[in-house]
Structure 1
Amino acid sequence: MKTLPPPFLARVTEEDFEVEEIGDEEDVRPGEHLHLWIEKRGLATDEACRRLALALDRRGADIGYAGRKDRRAVTRQWISVAGADEERAREIDWPDLRVLRAVSRVRKLKPGMLRGNRFRLRLRAVDGDLWPRAEARLAELARDGLPNAFGSQRFGAGGDGDRLGLALLERRFEDYVRGICTPPHAPDTPAVAELGERLVSGRGLRSADRLAARLPRELAPVARQLARRRGDWASAARAAGRTRLLLHLSALQARVFQGVLARRGPAPGEPEEGDRTCGHRPPSPFERSATGPLPGWKAPLASGRPGRIERAVLAALGVDPAAFKRLLPGCSPRGARRPLRVPVLGLEVGGSGVERTLAFELPAGSYATTVLDELLNACAQGGR
């Protein structure tokens, strides 16, 4: 059977995907934290923070940000740096990162301190016969909201970060360590391959620290801990770092949420009896939406039919919310609720022929790639 081309191409270049953070700044008092408005391209937020810390002679703990931004994109966002020299910061103008503005503020930026993001996307090789279906779906999203699915990037390079999260939750620390030391969760390098062989055979772990200098930054502490305390898989997992552990646990939480979203039907955000709901700021076209679980040891579940769906998904995935408690030091997620739909604001559609542009705003934590998925699905339903 002949494979048909996609109805459009997205993210052909980094410039095809632009993201601009919408801050939620309330406290504008000057202080010790220098807030930098940066533009980066082809660079992950964590890597941008690491390079800024090096350039400004600051520790990693001095750096803060409100939200991670896509790597394969041109993105603008705020980064805070405690005690940084403003003149030195303003001089940063690298090919993939530059400082556009610097202001003094009293508070360090922390995850969640933003309202949302403004996206501008360029679509290429657009199929003119199918584009009307995409435009019709965009109008529906602007009216009814976007199903608030997580993007594939939430689940990591291999798309199975939730599997590692489940290994953590079930305290299968050996499986977790083996997983993070194996591609695609680790770079495919000779040193990583050698560490993987030692993990499989169980031989040579006492000298694993000798590999540390050739391993990626995030795996070097794991190798040293394996050498220091052979067989103590919990401590080796902890050596991966709190950020990485929470990343895999959040992937597991996201998998539960996706399962609930899929079972809610065609209008997942419409509140039902038993739902736990959340409000939306104006100018959202709807005031309240149903929420789904990001499970943890304290977050409540819904009741009624929504609650039965949530419990069925948890059971199917083998996730026990109580198991999140006292999991590892600093890694015991309380859980949360996430809207099952979000407003798509300020929608603008431009371009013509085989090239179109989209611009819109989404709340913090929502994905522009989910909008693209909705358009692809709408075009697929239209046939060829």
Structure 2
Amino acid sequence: MMESPFDLERELGMQYYATITPGIGGALRTAPEDFIVEEISLEKKDTSGPYLICRLTKSNWELQHAVKEISRRLGVSHRRIGWAGTKDRNARTTQLISLYKVTAEEISALHIKDIALEPVGIANEQLSLGDLAGNRFDIRIRDADPEDLALRVAEVTDTAATALPNYFGLQRFGVVRPLTHRVGELILHGEYELAVATYVGKAFPYEKDDVQRARTAFWESRDPAIALRELPVQMSFERSMLSHLQSRPGDYAGALRQLPPKLLSMFVSAFQSYLFNCALSYRLSEGIGLTEPVPGDHLIFANGRTDTVTQQNIPAVSLHLARGRCNIALFMPGKDDPATVNCNDATRSMLNDLGITSEDFRRASVFVQTKFDGAWRPIAMKTDIQASVEGTCVHLAFSLPPGHYATTVCREYMKTDPIRMV
């Protein structure tokens, strides 16, 4: 186990690496073709229904913006489009989306740069987050440090077959502007003005100068007109919020509701992800391994069964973990009272320090119109990686279950500034 030296990772709770192997450095995503993601879909056999299922392939498109552009071109509400998983922007990604009462002929007439849509079936229900079996990745890390490169790659590959920390990756919190979880925290507190000001007005160094100026102007003045004059037209989410404030001054709750419901819900779920990362790092800081059961641990078995570790069953649990039959999991809190679930002390302490209760999640659930019930997440991920080295280029091919992050795998190899992975 080794600590991350990077402030950004530490701020997002990603404080440790599973390996002590020196990082290979390098860069991800020098081109979209260096980061290929293919969704592994669940089998569905519907023969009728109002939803057209299409295979969406895109490059250099953030999913929410791609959906908004597709809906604009079709002349339908973006709420009529559903998907199973959110994919990376700076990548070439393939996934399924569902479109309510849209025809294959309408899809064939669409022509959008770097977006391809192919009708593949129909369904009775809209695709929802989590309706997938996983994702396949084909990744190239370029310009890696050549010294003992093959040996370092092999050591991390071996560890990945056993256990890596199952952190939520940087893109969960925002790639250029990692503040999604902070907006979620403000929504939980009911501080809607500050939530809007943070989302629209907080500038980050990797943004263009004119964007930074526009954001800062709004942060300092709360005057939407100033920011609207300078924000680029493609920044449609921010502009829609600002336009609402211009027509209805002071209605910050209404401004937040201008965002697509799935994007709005991602703020609160990002905060849940942040809590998970921090709790996992706290566990590792205590010297407890990813596959080392301790009394009180919650277990999730492959067949859906759950159990709790006791002093008496540790030998049996250790055997189950070694054979991949179960996972140790941490609870991501939500509407359920932490006292009624096996919530770990670190998470409970963080909630107390931040002044956030289950009632705050219930209020946010009504505001966002999304269930925030809380969920268990495995603390470890493991995957069999096909790795090869060609000069200073490292090629990785592997699959992950839903909700697991390929960048969390790549960071173990690279151990570099996270901005080089986005």
Distance in structure 1 (CA, Å) of the matches to 2:208 and 2:391 = 42
Structure-2 change in CA distance of 1:179 and 1:274 (3 Å): same
The unaligned stretches of length 5 or more in structure 2 are: 1-21, 305-321, 417-422
Structure-2 change in CA distance of 1:36 and 1:233 (3 Å): closer
Higher relative contact order (CA 8 A, sep 6+): 2
Distance in structure 2 (CA, Å) of the matches to 1:22 and 1:224 = 39
Offset at 1:192? 8.6
Structure-2 change in CA distance of 1:270 and 1:316 (3 Å): farther
Aligned to 1:382: none
Distance in structure 1 (CA, Å) of the matches to 2:347 and 2:140 = 37
Distance in structure 1 (CA, Å) of the matches to 2:381 and 2:350 = 22
Which letter does structure 1 place at the counterpart of 2:408? T
Aligned to 1:260: 279
2:294 pairs with 272, 283, 305, which one? 272
Structure-2 change in CA distance of 1:201 and 1:103 (3 Å): closer
Is 1:243 the counterpart of 2:281 in the alignment? no
For residues 260-293 of structure 1, give each alpha carbon's deviation from its aligned partner in whole angstroms, at most 9, with x where no partner exists: 11122252354432222222379x9511112122
Offset at 1:106? 2.5
For residues 97-134 of structure 1, give each alpha carbon's deviation from its aligned partner in whole angstroms, at most 9, with x where no partner exists: 11345222222211110011000111222324143122
Structure-2 change in CA distance of 1:243 and 1:208 (3 Å): farther
Offset at 1:248? 1.8
Offset at 1:17? 0.5
Distance in structure 2 (CA, Å) of the matches to 1:195 and 1:15 = 32
Is 1:362 the counterpart of 2:400 in the alignment? yes
SS at match of 1:264: helix
Offset at 1:224? 4.2
Deviates more, 1:324-333 or 1:175-184: 324-333
Aligned residue-pair number: 369
Aligned to 2:388: 350
Which letter does structure 2 place at the counterpart of 1:274? G
Distance in structure 1 (CA, Å) of the matches to 2:213 and 2:26 = 38
Distance in structure 2 (CA, Å) of the matches to 1:365 and 1:299 = 24
Aligned to 2:39: 21
Structure-2 change in CA distance of 1:146 and 1:299 (3 Å): farther
Deviates more, 1:108-117 or 1:155-164: 155-164
Deviates more, 1:112-121 or 1:268-277: 268-277
Within-5 A mapping of 1:44-123: 44-90=62-108, 92=110, 94-123=112-141
For residues 333-377 of structure 1, give each alpha carbon's deviation from its aligned partner in whole angstroms, at most 9, with x where no partner exists: 2222211113314x2123433223111010011110000111134
Aligned to 1:182: 201
Distance in structure 2 (CA, Å) of the matches to 1:135 and 1:180 = 41
Is 1:173 the counterpart of 2:192 in the alignment? yes
Which letter does structure 2 place at the counterpart of 1:348? Q
1:161 pairs with 173, 177, 180, which one? 180
Aligned to 1:200: 220
Structure-2 change in CA distance of 1:54 and 1:276 (3 Å): same
Offset at 1:184? 3.5
SS at match of 2:277: helix
Aligned to 1:376: 414
Offset at 1:189? 8.1
TM superposition score normalised by structure 1: 0.82
Which letter does structure 1 place at the counterpart of 2:334? G
Contact 2:196 2:255 in 1 (8 A): yes
Aligned to 1:324: 361
SS at match of 2:281: helix
CA RMSD in angstroms comes to: 3.4
Distance in structure 1 (CA, Å) of the matches to 2:230 and 2:182 = 26
For residues 66-111 of structure 1, give each alpha carbon's deviation from its aligned partner in whole angstroms, at most 9, with x where no partner exists: 1111110111111111222213424556541113452222222111
2:158 pairs with 124, 139, 149, which one? 139
Is 1:33 the counterpart of 2:51 in the alignment? yes
1:337 pairs with 376, 399, 407, which one? 376
SS at match of 2:196: helix
Contact 1:208 1:227 in 2 (8 A): no
Which letter does structure 1 place at the counterpart of 2:298? R
Distance in structure 1 (CA, Å) of the matches to 2:337 and 2:358 = 8
TM superposition score normalised by structure 2: 0.76
Deviates more, 1:154-163 or 1:69-78: 154-163
For residues 36-72 of structure 1, give each alpha carbon's deviation from its aligned partner in whole angstroms, at most 9, with x where no partner exists: 1122111122222223323444331221111111110
Aligned to 2:249: 230
Offset at 1:208? 8.1
